[in-house]
């Protein structure tokens, strides 16, 4: 189920444009509009939930699917030398959109 006010849900519904990299019935991957690396993609489930603490069996299966699919998408996006995955959880972690999402960062040597 999608949230009517969530920016990522609006992207999924096509109400807000995005630079899509990959899409299927379970997930959407698009370019971050404020990239923190040469390649910065966001992978989002098409099922709205905010935090890992809201995980149930269905959401767990979708996240598992996403984590299995991300290496293929990263490879197709030119990230053959490696990439970083980040999932921010809550305000203190810097989560600004409260729809679970995985940052895929790479295309250069990354510092902390």
Active site residue 99: no
Residue 21 has which token pair? 């990299």
Strand order in the sheet with 102-106: 20-23, 27-31, 39-45, 102-106, 83-86
User: Measured at the alpha carbon of residue 40, what is the angle toward residues 48 and 84, in degrees to the nearest 5?
Assistant: 90
Q: CB 84: neighbour CB atoms within 10 A?
A: 14
Catalytic annotation, pick one of 40, 48, 101, 103: 101
- 3-state secondary structure at position 31: strand
Catalytic residues: 101
């Amino acid at each position: 189920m999608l949230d009517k006010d969530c920016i990522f849900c609006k992207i999924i519904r096509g109400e807000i444009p995005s630079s899509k990299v990959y899409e299927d019935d379970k997930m959407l991957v698009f370019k971050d509009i404020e990239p923190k690396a040469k390649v910065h993609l966001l992978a989002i489930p098409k099922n709205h939930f905010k935090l890992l603490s809201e995980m149930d069996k269905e959401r767990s299966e979708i996240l598992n699917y996403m984590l299995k699919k991300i290496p293929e998408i990263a490879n197709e996006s030119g990230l053959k030398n490696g990439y970083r995955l980040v999932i921010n959880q809550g305000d203190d972690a810097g989560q600004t959109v409260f729809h679970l999402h995985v940052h895929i960062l790479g295309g250069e040597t990354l510092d902390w």
